[in-house]
Amino acid sequence: MNQFDDLFKHKIDEEHTFSGQNRSWETLDRNLQAFEAGAATSAKALMIWKAIALVAGFSAILLLVELNQLVSQLKNLQQSAEGVQTLEASHLPTAETGALPTLSPRQSAYPTLSSGSMESRRTRIDHSTSVDTDSEILLAAQKKGSEPMRSTMDQNVEAILPRNHTLGKTDVAQTDSIELKTFAQTPLPIDSLQSKEDIIMPEPLPPIIDPVAGVNGKWRAGVRLLVGTTMPKEMGVSSLTGKGIGITRRIWKGISMTASADFFRFEVDAETIPAHFAAFDPPPLSPGQHFHDLKNVSSSMALQQYSLGIGYTIPIVRHLGVSLNIAHAWAYSPSKVAYFRFEDMGHGGPGPYHPEEEFAVAKTRGVWQSNIWKLGIGLQYDWQRWSIGMQGDYAIQGKASESSFSALYTNASLQYKF
Amino acid sequence: MTDKDFIVVLRGCKNFHRASQYQLHSELYNYAMHVARRYAGSNESAEEIANDAFFKVFTKLDQFVHQNGDIRAAFRGWFRRIVINTAIDGSRSSLHTPTTDELLPINECAEDNGLLEKLTFEQVLQLLDQLPPAYRTVFGLFVGEGYSHEEIAELLQITAGTSKSNLSRARQHIKKMLSKEVAFNQFI
């Protein structure tokens, strides 16, 4: 740069105070408010959509699992139905031949009036049968140490012949083959032919499908979204928004035990320290400053609330019911950064006075609140596996303590039964 | 404001605390106007440029990364670049528009005869205001910020030759205006 440029630079770098700072700040403040409103709205909307997506994904997975179970149960039912149909069909005579249906191996083991069996029996009592068969059987029985069994021939004959038959066993053994066809045509009572153990029992039916357990499930677990406000309304304290989880166990009929954990956020932007937020400790100001007045306190706060309680559901119509709840809660406010703005009130004297501002930053104290009682009433709608609810709770601070406040909450919940 | 207080204020600004933002605005308003006024052409335009720059700073403060050294100086440098870029963005459409003056041949002008030293800050700004936007921007970047012609060319998306030409014409215009002023004063 040449001498001209150096001189020019020296001139434009001279100290100068520009006016219009307040006007500039007002314009900038409006722009920032608009930006923060849009950002907050989009951030909240994003959180809500994320929660909805999470619940939808979880629900989809559960529905898929349940669908899979239902399909497998349906297949089992179909197979059982086919089995029962086959079994029933096997007991019915065919229309073309009028002959008896084919017997299962179990059925064939018992003496019946089928022609195939007659043929085999006829063979057994034929005269050509060795006489030594009986003695062989007796010897075998004696070897086994059991009582001598009646010969197979005797058993077969007795099974075929009527009770009052006059033919002796010996006579039967030595007689020529007896024409038993005539007896096959005579209908005989089943009791005389078969013992009770021989009665063919049908195949046992498959077990009845258990009803859906969810309807009668004792447990419920789910998520919930909450909005609340301090009661009475604290100036400078925003509404409390949060999310939480809850679990319920049915004890008896409509009575159940409940447990929940909720996490809230809210903003403090007030001219004075809010009455029920005593955990704000303004830091000491610079020495030598007098007549300072607190003009603004701001902070982003959080609140954790844990509760145990009892609820009762009164059914109204079908799956809709009114829920009443009472619970005891504990709350914790974690330590957060707070910003304080002070103004110097002035030292007196004539003329206009422009107050000087001083800013200070300090951390709030983490505070536990106990002895909080919550009374709630709401509506609950039940499906087989799911339950949705809408409830209002009034949280009363039973014992006045540092950083304690009463609040009114509204929550929407979605629970799964198991 | 100490460095520690400055860090606290920056943290507050990151959390969108209005008090901290107001404090930072108060601290840097004059500085922003000083930089913006060289390129704006008027106080109102400079105020718009400063507000836009502050808005960018408050909404993108997380992009300011400082590891060691003087944090206030580093932040001022970062803020200055934002103000310059905002000023250039606002007048970018007029940076390539040739004015009637650009079409005129360059004539050597007489020196200012020491008048520049006697001018006040506002008068110097008025001289700058009378320059075409293209000349004023190049002159401000070269003389005020110390950018090279290559850096100016990259910043304004022009050639280094155009930057040199604009700078030369800007000097000529200022000297011409100063010589007219000298002649006027002599006449009086």
Mutate to test the interface with A, among B5, B13, B17, B117 (most CBs of A within 10 A): B17
> Which of A28, A298, A300 is the closest to B25 by Cβ?
A28
What's the complex ipTM? 0.83
pLDDT of residue A211: 45
SS3 B90: helix
Asked if residues B92 and B103 have their Cβ atoms less than 8 Å apart, the reply is no
B162-165, long-range: CB within 8 Å, 24+ apart, which pairs? B163/B138
Optimal mutation site among B11, B15, B21, B29, interface A, most CBs of chain A within 10 A = B29
**Over 70: is that where the pLDDT of A182 sits?**
no
For A19, the 3-state DSSP assignment is coil
Is the pLDDT confidence value at B181 over 70?
Answer: no
pLDDT of residue B123: 85
pLDDT of residue B93: 63
Query: Do A275 and A234 touch, CB atoms closer than 8 A?
Result: yes
Task: Say what the pLDDT of residue A342 is.
Answer: 78
The radius of gyration of chain B's CA atoms, rounded to the nearest angstrom, is 19
Inter-chain residue contact A7 with B19, CB threshold 8 Å: no
């006007």: which residue's tokens? Answer: A23
In this predicted structure, the answer to whether residue A156 has a pLDDT above a threshold of 60 is: no
Closest-CA residue of A relative to B23 is A359
Tens digits of residue pLDDT in A18-30: 888 888 998 998 8
Per-residue confidence (pLDDT) for residue B157, from 0 to 100 = 87
The per-residue pLDDT of chain B, averaged, comes to 83
Q: Does A4 touch chain B (CB under 8 A)?
A: yes
Whether the Cβ atoms of residue B43 and residue B126 lie closer than 8 Å to each other:
no
User: For residue B148, what pLDDT is reported?
Assistant: 92
On chain A, the residues whose CB falls within 8 A of the CB of B144 are: 9, 12-13
Q: Which residue would you say has higher pLDDT here, A142 or A340?
A: A340
Is residue A214's pLDDT more than 60? no
pTM, entire model: 0.42
Where residue A327 falls among pLDDT bands split at 50, 70, 90?
very high
CB A295: neighbour CB atoms within 10 A?
Answer: 15
Residue A239 reports pLDDT greater than 80: yes
Give the pLDDT confidence score for residue A308 in this predicted structure: 96
The reported pLDDT for the residue numbered A281 is 65
The predicted model gives A175-188 an average pLDDT of 49
Q: Which residues of A touch B112 (CB under 8 A)?
A: 4
DSSP state of A93: P
Q: How much is the average pLDDT of A370-386? A: 89
- Mean pLDDT, range A82-95, rounded to an integer: 73
Closest Cα of chain B to A367: distance in Å? 23
Interface A–B counts its CB contacts (< 8 A) at 100
Q: Which one-letter amino acid corresponds to residue A303?
A: L
What pLDDT shows up at residue B186? 56
Q: What is the mean pLDDT of residues B128-154?
A: 90
What does DSSP assign to residue B69? Answer: S
- For A100-109, A198-207, A214-223, B132-141, which range has the lowest pLDDT when averaged over its residues? A100-109
Do residues A412 and A242 lie in contact, with contact meaning Cβ atoms separated by under 8 Å?
Answer: no
Q: What is the share, in percent, of chain A residues with pLDDT greater than 70?
A: 60
B56-74 per-position pLDDT tens digit = 999 988 888 877 788 888 9
By mean pLDDT, which of A188-192, A195-199, A343-347, A388-392 is the weakest?
A: A188-192
Q: What pLDDT is attached to residue A216?
A: 60
What was the pLDDT predicted at A254? 85
For residue A372, count other CB atoms closer than 10 A to its CB: 22
Give the residue with greater pLDDT, A409 vs B115. Answer: A409
Residues 6 or more apart whose CB falls under 8 angstroms from that of B116 comprise A4, A7, A8, A11, B124, B178
**Which among B22, B30, B128 has the least Cβ separation from residue A17?**
B30
What residue type is assigned to position B114 of the chain? G
Q: What is the pLDDT of residue A90?
A: 75
Contact B30 A361 (CB under 8 A): no
pLDDT at A326: 95
Percent of chain A with pLDDT over 90: 21
Measured between beta carbons, the chain A residues lying within 8 angstroms of B26 are 21, 25
Residue B51: its chain A contacts at CB < 8 A? Answer: 24, 27-28, 31
Whether residue A23 lies within 8 A of chain B, CB to CB, comes out as yes
Q: Cβ distance A298 to A269 under 8 Å? A: yes
**Alpha carbon distance B91, B83 (integer Å):** 13
Chain B hits for A31, Cβ within 8 Å: 51, 55
| pLDDT tens, residue by residue, A260-271 | 999 999 988 888
Identify the pLDDT of residue A174.
44
pLDDT of residue A315: 87
Average pLDDT estimate for A338-355: 65
What's the confidence (pLDDT) of residue A65? 87
Q: What is the pLDDT of residues A244-293, one digit of tens each?
A: 999 999 998 889 999 999 999 998 888 877 766 656 666 655 555 454 67
